[in-house]
Amino acid sequence: MRFTRDTVAALGITSILNSVTAQNLSYGADNFYRSNNVTLQPITFQNQYQMTIAGNLFTPDNLTSNAAPAIVVGHPMGAVKEQSANLYATKLAEQGFVTLSFDHQFWGGSDGEPRNAVSPDLYAEGFSAAVDYLGMQSFVDRERIGAVGICGSGGFLISAAKIDTRLKAIATASMYNMGTLNRNGLQHSQDVQQRMQIIDQASQQCWTELDGGEVQYTSGTANTYSPNLSPVQREFYDFYRTSRGEYTPAGSTVNITTHPTFSSNVKFMNFYPFNDIETISPRPLLFISGDIAHSREFSEDAYQRAAEPKELLWVSGAGHVDLYDRVDMIPFNRLIHFFRTNLAANQIANTNETVHGIQTASLRGG
């Protein structure tokens, strides 16, 4: 197992954040929060390609409706459902929603080899597969399903929503566009020559692995702390490499968590989730970002391209990773209002009647 040069250098990430203190549990950092009012049930389900996805189903203990609204939650890129996604799912379930967090293909408990491989299409498919599962539950209203994508999952959710109209309300938090990031770096700090060098190295790595050489990993979070880490890497280290958010799923090892395989990571170069984002309209979009987040450019870009109804919500004083788990900073009240408004039974009925004239079903094989 080998690692490429540090992600910060590879992507030209600039030092735009103040230093963070390792294991900073301030502002209510509570990644592993559990609720006494919500039941968590581990589940598995199939995607359209008959690959197994591992998830968690969260149901409110006071659920009485046989047609409840539901929300899918996707985890940050390189993470698993136990990191941020379960927290969002739990908090939303406390407010009466049925929620589902899941591991993207090749990560956590979900199928796929090699482990930690990158496939943007399969990542997007995970959201649609979760809708399949929820829509088959007798207590879920299949016309009232929304989703939240955190970090890289924001882009994967946008990609899914463009071609799956069953996703009725779409929200992102600290969104990364993994395509733009890998092509251009943060704030366009990587030029085409540097991009082509990475592509060539990854192409040669394919031969190395086919010839029996070691799998090479890239990007992700530094495994050890160093005073020389950039502010961005320190921010990730504080979450992924301390008790605040560290989680190693069964079958993995701590030294490869967060790191995708180098030969597959170039698949992101062909990932353009914001192209045609305007076609999601008239379904509503909510983009949430910290106003000092190093990733804020992606939410701004998506918002500018999207059609109404849309909203861009800035969280004052919040960085990128703050919105993973700092419950005193994550605007859960705003998320709850967004989904209650846009997944209300009368709202869905009005949208179907006004925009489409007649209600149509999204058909998926498999």
Distance CA 151, CA 236 (A): 12
What is residue 63's predicted lDDT score, i.e. its pLDDT? 93
- Which residue has 């491989």 as its token pair? 117
Short-list 90, 169, 134, CA closest to 341: 169
Per the CB < 8 A criterion, the answer to whether 322 and 27 are in contact is yes
What is residue 14's predicted lDDT score, i.e. its pLDDT? 31
Is there a cis peptide before residue 60, judged by omega within 30 degrees of 0?
Answer: no
pLDDT over 70, % of the chain: 87
* pLDDT reading at 364 higher than 60: no
Neighbours of 212 (CB within 10 A): 6
What is residue 12's predicted lDDT score, i.e. its pLDDT? 36
What is residue 66's predicted lDDT score, i.e. its pLDDT? 84
Distance CA 12, CA 10 (A): 6
Alpha helix stretches (DSSP H) within the chain: 7-11, 85-93, 120-135, 152-162, 178-184, 192-210, 231-240, 262-265, 296-305, 322-325, 332-342, 345-351
* pLDDT reading at 268 higher than 90: yes
* pLDDT reading at 17 higher than 70: no
The predicted model scores a pTM of 0.89
Q: Which two structure tokens, joined as six digits, stand for 279?
A: 């076609």
Per the CB < 8 A criterion, the answer to whether 158 and 135 are in contact is no
Coil/strand/helix, residue 3: strand
What is residue 192's predicted lDDT score, i.e. its pLDDT? 96
Higher pLDDT, 313 or 11: 313
Rounded mean pLDDT of the chain? 89
Question: What is the average pLDDT across 171-198?
Answer: 95
* pLDDT reading at 22 higher than 90: no
The secondary structure of residue 307, as a DSSP letter, is: P
- The rounded Cα 356 to chain-centroid distance in angstroms is 29
Question: What is the average pLDDT across 13-23?
Answer: 39
* Alpha carbon separation from 308 to 279, 285, 336 (Å, rounded): 10, 8, 20
- The rounded Cα 256 to chain-centroid distance in angstroms is 19
Short-list 253, 210, 261, 220, CA closest to 105: 261
* pLDDT reading at 299 higher than 90: yes
Question: What is the average pLDDT across 90-96?
Answer: 97
The secondary structure of residue 312, as a DSSP letter, is: E
Q: Say which amino acid occupies 101.
A: S
Higher pLDDT, 2 or 42: 42
Lowest mean pLDDT among 52-66, 299-313, 341-355: 341-355
Question: What is the average pLDDT across 172-180?
Answer: 97
Q: Where are the domains of the chain?
A: 2-356
The three-state DSSP-derived secondary structure of 19-70 is CCCCCCCCCCECCCCCCCCEEEEEEEEECCCCCEEEEEEEEECCCCCCCEEE
Question: What is the average pLDDT across 16-33?
Answer: 66
Strands 98-102 and 52-60: antiparallel
Question: What is the average pLDDT across 175-196?
Answer: 95
pLDDT over 90, % of the chain: 84
Short-list 258, 312, 307, CA closest to 280: 307
Neighbours of 63 (CB within 10 A): 15
Distance CA 160, CA 121 (A): 8
Burial class (CB in 10 A: 0-12, 13-18, 19+), 165: middle
* pLDDT reading at 23 higher than 70: no
What is residue 32's predicted lDDT score, i.e. its pLDDT? 97
Q: Say which amino acid occupies 121.
A: D
Instruction: Give the length of the chain.
Output: 366
Confidence bin at 114 (pLDDT 50/70/90): very high
What is residue 363's predicted lDDT score, i.e. its pLDDT? 35
Higher pLDDT, 365 or 33: 33
- Which class does domain 2-356 fall in? alpha beta
Confidence bin at 3 (pLDDT 50/70/90): very low
Question: What is the average pLDDT across 56-81?
Answer: 95
Half-sphere exposure of 317 (CA within 13 A, CB side): 6
What is residue 348's predicted lDDT score, i.e. its pLDDT? 54
Q: Which two structure tokens, joined as six digits, stand for 217?
A: 């990993």
